Amino acid sequence: MEAILALEDGRIFHGEAFGATATSVGEVCFNTSMTGYQEILTDPSYRGQIVAMTYPQIGNYGTNDLDQESHSPHVRGFVIEELSQPSNWRSEDSLENYLLHWKIPGMQGVDTRALTRHLRVRGAMKACVSTESLSAEEAVRRAMEGPGVVGMDFVSEVTTGQAYHWDPENKQSRHWTIVKGSANPGTPPDIADNGQVFLPLPPVRHRVVAYDLGMKRNILRMLRQNGFAVEVVPAGTSAGDVLARDPDGVFLSNGPGDPAALGSIHANVRKLIGKKPIFGICLGHQVLGFAFGGGTFKLKFGHRGANQPVKDLRTGRVAITSQNHGFAVDADRLPSTVEVTHVNLNDGTVEGMRHREQPVFSVQYHPEASPGPHDAGYFFQEFAKLIEETRGA
């Protein structure tokens, strides 16, 4: 069956349908990661977007329950060049069946290089993807009439409905590896049927409250793996409710949509500054920008992929990072009490900042790297150190 991708500027791409038979509208964007398509599909930060992968062959290792970053996919559509059949020992189902199950239209046979070049020149834009019998004219009309992401609060659609404690039994956060030879003497590891070995977790050292703005599960895993016990709360939780829990620190997660549309969240976070150590990632970083008194602007085509170079201005070190965002903190609007600590080497935009007087810092990228490199995983230990220093002050 034929499929169509129509952009709001009238550009049309044709291809072959896979996944669900459906029509969907959203902002089309591209991701440069070579792997991690299931994590991308299930990242709540992609709410309201049609994702095109620049890597040509997608689907070769299938899908499985362990690699889910949330309970379900959040993309409006998925566009690739070539659908590969799964051939991997961890595969539980194919990508095609996965999209079919979740009623998401997929499209293959697309010249994703041409699509990417078009979006880089014209910018990310609204689009319509259809695996039904939809004319090009009708698809363009639907794209033009779509809401896009500017001014949209998608956080309210993806945040948790009630507070909960993450992984109280210490089973969902464990590191895993592959069995190699016989087990080491001592306490035997927990070995799953498929040969994965789950390693024990460190003791809890700090209690934190995490605002769920659209949080990826691997962030929660990484927090626990670094000695944090985490209570997750809805995005609309008041600062007073958080302080009543008396946590050692507050974490602000990633999430979708326009950070400028989250005024009540900005206000709550502003009330927490100076009361508790705070660490923000991605949308949490942008929310802090507003809480500091600054703002954000929309990037032309965003940063989405696992190969974004970021420079630490304090040390000169460069890290390759995993990113997914279409907005950036405006450095010119930040007050003098806030220091820009990291910048993107491709376009110079703000990738990290910290308050000069209060125990607050944030990064625009994803230290938990799911998918992506692990260069920035040390930030979770930086958070722990900040809590310890604040406690001892």
Read off the pLDDT of residues 56-99 as tens digits, 9 standing for 90 and up: 999 999 999 989 999 999 999 999 999 999 999 889 999 999 99
Length of the chain equals 393
Going from the C-alpha of 26 to that of each of 6, 95, 172, 221, 229, the distances in angstroms are 11, 21, 32, 30, 36
What pLDDT, on the 0 to 100 scale, is given for residue 339? 98
What pLDDT, on the 0 to 100 scale, is given for residue 50? 98
Tokens read off for 256: 């979708």
User: Taking the mean position of all CA atoms in its chain, how far away is CA 56?
Assistant: 22
pLDDT band at 371 (very low <50, low <70, confident <90, very high): confident
Please identify which of the residues 74, 303, 355, 366 carries the catalytic annotation: 366
pLDDT band at 374 (very low <50, low <70, confident <90, very high): confident
What pLDDT, on the 0 to 100 scale, is given for residue 184? 47
With contact defined as beta carbons under 8 Å apart, do 383 and 391 qualify?
no
What pLDDT, on the 0 to 100 scale, is given for residue 178? 63
Please identify which of the residues 8, 27, 96, 368 carries the catalytic annotation: 368
The single-letter code of the amino acid at 26 is G
Measured CA to CA, the distance from residue 249 to residue 231 in angstroms comes to: 11
Tell me the DSSP string of 172-227.
SS--EEE--SSPPSSSPPEE-TTSEEEPPPPPP-EEEEEEESS--HHHHHHHHHTT
Residue 282 known to be catalytic: yes
Can you give the pTM of this predicted structure? 0.93
Question: Which residues 6+ apart lie within 8 Å of 46 measured at CB?
Answer: 40, 74, 75, 256, 324
3 state SS of 290: helix
Other C-beta atoms lying within 10 Å of the C-beta of residue 47: 22
Least Cα distance to 326 among 234, 235, 255 occurs for: 255
Mean pLDDT of 225-240: 97
- Residue 183 above 50 pLDDT? no
Q: Could you read off the pLDDT of 190-229 as tens digits, one per residue?
A: 555 555 667 789 999 999 999 999 999 999 999 999 999 9
Mean pLDDT of 168-191: 64
What long-range pairs does 83-86 form, CB within 8 A, spacing at least 24? Answer: 83/18, 83/58, 83/59, 83/108, 84/57, 84/58, 84/59, 84/60, 85/59, 85/60, 86/59, 86/60, 86/61, 86/62
Q: Could you read off the pLDDT of 30-64 as tens digits, one per residue?
A: 999 999 999 999 999 999 999 999 999 999 999 99
Mean pLDDT of 231-236: 98
Q: Could you read off the pLDDT of 276-292 as tens digits, one per residue?
A: 999 999 999 999 999 99
With contact defined as beta carbons under 8 Å apart, do 342 and 311 qualify?
yes
Please give the mean pLDDT across all residues of the chain.
Answer: 93
- Domains present along the chain, CATH in parentheses: 2-148 (3.50.30.20), 156-168+199-392 (3.40.50.880)
Please identify which of the residues 282, 285, 351, 355 carries the catalytic annotation: 282
Q: What is the dihedral of CA 231, 234, 235, 239, to 10 degrees?
A: -60
- Residue 187 above 50 pLDDT? no
- Residue 303 above 90 pLDDT? yes
Measured CA to CA, the distance from residue 281 to residue 284 in angstroms comes to: 5
What percentage of the chain has pLDDT greater than the value 70? 94
Radius of gyration of the chain, Cα coordinates, nearest whole angstrom: 21
What pLDDT, on the 0 to 100 scale, is given for residue 308? 94
What pLDDT, on the 0 to 100 scale, is given for residue 370? 78
What pLDDT, on the 0 to 100 scale, is given for residue 373? 83
Tokens read off for 318: 């460069």
What pLDDT, on the 0 to 100 scale, is given for residue 180? 52
With contact defined as beta carbons under 8 Å apart, do 351 and 282 qualify?
no
pLDDT band at 393 (very low <50, low <70, confident <90, very high): low
pLDDT band at 372 (very low <50, low <70, confident <90, very high): confident
What pLDDT, on the 0 to 100 scale, is given for residue 186? 44
Going from the C-alpha of 218 to that of each of 10, 172, 370, the distances in angstroms are 38, 10, 7
pLDDT band at 150 (very low <50, low <70, confident <90, very high): very high
Residue 366 known to be catalytic: yes
What pLDDT, on the 0 to 100 scale, is given for residue 391? 86
- Residue 257 above 70 pLDDT? yes
What pLDDT, on the 0 to 100 scale, is given for residue 194? 53
